[in-house]
Structures are given as structure tokens and as C-alpha cells.
């Protein structure tokens, strides 16, 4: 029973990392990438999700609750799991180690980002616009923090996609897993470029 519960929890953890969290991360980066087109383009794009009905309910159901479960169970995995040289080689075990590290960094980054944006917005201290992110990222230390956080989040998602494909039986054999490795690496590079351009767009 315990093994069955753990098996289902791991599958749910993997699924939530892709749907809806992964989709939200991509959506968020695409909106932020509008910063490269100027303040007006970003403000228009950022206003789209803000106009959704019952936004706070949608945020909790689609974003906060899935992230909370994914983070809590991810921390459990990070401190309980060990390298598995029997089933995976050195490279995949190193990727698993990086997955744990980037997961913790991403959690810290998300918590701070939510505090600086959504919470400050709710308190009436800031307005959701280009200037808000410009003021945050104009601080060199904060820019580096956001850069590291963004890259860690994208890596965690990219490598998590590989794990998702394995856990859900989509890539079973060595060949399909090797192809998935290359595909997720390309995914990491492309999405990282989008994320970096989005950040620099706020201070250019």
C-alpha cells in the first residue's frame, strides 16, 4: 500500500510539474518576453491574464496549489532519494542531482518573486506594469538573482520533462530516452534565451 501510494504521488508530482506548472512557466515567459518590444507591448500582454474572471481562484487552483504540492513532495524526494547507478549512468545521476539543486533554488526564487510582485500588488504598493519589473531589475544584484532563478527554473522544467516522459511510460527504451535527452536540452536552450531576453528587455 505504501509503495502504491508513493508511486501515485511521484506520478502526480511529475504530471503537475508539466501540467499546469510547466505550461504556466512558458506562458509567463512569453508574456515577459513582450518587454523586448517596449513598455506598451508588455503592459498590454500583462493585462490579458489580469482580465480573467475569478482570477484569484484560477491562480490558486492552477498555480499555487499545484506548486505547493510539487514543491513539498519535491523537497521530500530531494532529501530521501539517492543516486541510482544500477538503472542510470553517471550523466543521468548528475542530472538528477542538478534537478534537486535547481528545484530548491527555483522554490526560493518563486517565493521571492511572488512576494515582490503579487503580494505587493495585493497590498497596493505597486502596479502591474513594465515599470514594476524595471525598478526591480535595475538593481544589479536583483538582476543576477532573477537571471539565476530563471535559468534554474527553466532547467528544472526541461529536465523534469525528461523524467515525466519516463515516469509516464512514454520513453521506455534507451534510444527513446537518449532522443528525449537531446530534445529537452534544445528545449532548455531555446526557453532560456526567451527568459534572458525577457529580463534584459526590462532594463534596455
Q: Where are the domains of the chain?
A: 2-201
Question: Which segments of 17-169 are extended strands (E)?
Answer: none
pLDDT in tens, 6-19: 888 899 999 999 99
Instruction: Work out the mean pLDDT of the chain and round it to a whole number.
Output: 93
CB distance 44 to 101 below 8 Å: no
pLDDT in tens, 172-182: 999 999 999 99
Q: What percent of the chain has pLDDT over 90?
A: 81
Neighbours of 141 (CB within 10 A): 7
Of 1.20.1300.10, 1.10.580.10, 3.40.50.11810, 3.20.20.80, which CATH number belongs to 2-201?
Answer: 1.20.1300.10
| Residue-level pLDDT at 1 | 53
CA atoms in the 13 A half-sphere facing the CB of 165? 19
Burial of residue 186 (CB within 10 Å: 0-12, 13-18, 19+) is exposed
Q: Can you state the angle between helices 140-167 and 90-114, rounded to 10 degrees?
A: 130
Neighbours of 202 (CB within 10 A): 22
Q: What is the pTM of this model?
A: 0.92
Q: For residue 85, is pLDDT > 90? A: no
Amino acid at each position: 500500500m505504501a509503495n502504491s501510494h508513493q508511486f501515485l504521488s511521484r506520478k502526480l508530482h511529475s504530471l503537475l510539474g508539466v501540467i499546469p506548472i510547466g505550461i504556466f512557466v512558458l506562458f509567463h515567459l512569453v508574456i515577459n518576453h513582450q518587454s523586448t518590444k517596449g513598455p506598451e507591448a508588455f503592459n498590454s500582454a500583462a493585462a490579458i491574464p489580469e482580465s480573467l474572471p475569478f482570477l484569484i481562484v484560477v491562480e490558486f487552483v492552477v498555480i499555487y496549489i499545484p506548486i505547493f504540492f510539487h514543491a513539498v513532495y519535491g523537497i521530500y524526494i530531494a532529501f530521501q532519494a539517492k543516486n541510482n547507478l544500477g538503472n542510470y549512468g553517471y550523466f543521468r545521476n548528475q542530472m538528477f542531482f542538478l534537478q534537486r539543486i535547481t528545484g530548491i533554488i527555483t522554490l526560493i526564487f518563486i517565493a521571492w518573486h511572488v512576494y515582490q510582485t503579487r503580494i505587493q500588488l495585493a497590498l497596493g504598493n505597486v502596479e502591474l506594469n513594465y515599470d514594476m519589473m524595471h525598478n526591480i531589475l535595475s538593481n544589479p544584484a536583483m538582476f543576477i538573482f532573477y537571471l539565476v532563478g530563471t535559468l534554474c527554473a527553466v532547467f528544472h522544467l526541461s529536465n523534469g520533462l525528461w523524467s515525466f516522459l519516463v515516469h509516464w511510460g512514454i520513453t521506455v527504451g534507451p534510444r527513446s530516452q537518449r532522443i528525449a535527452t537531446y530534445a529537452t536540452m534544445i528545449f532548455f536552450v531555446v526557453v532560456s534565451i526567451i527568459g534572458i531576453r525577457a529580463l534584459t528587455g526590462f532594463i534596455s
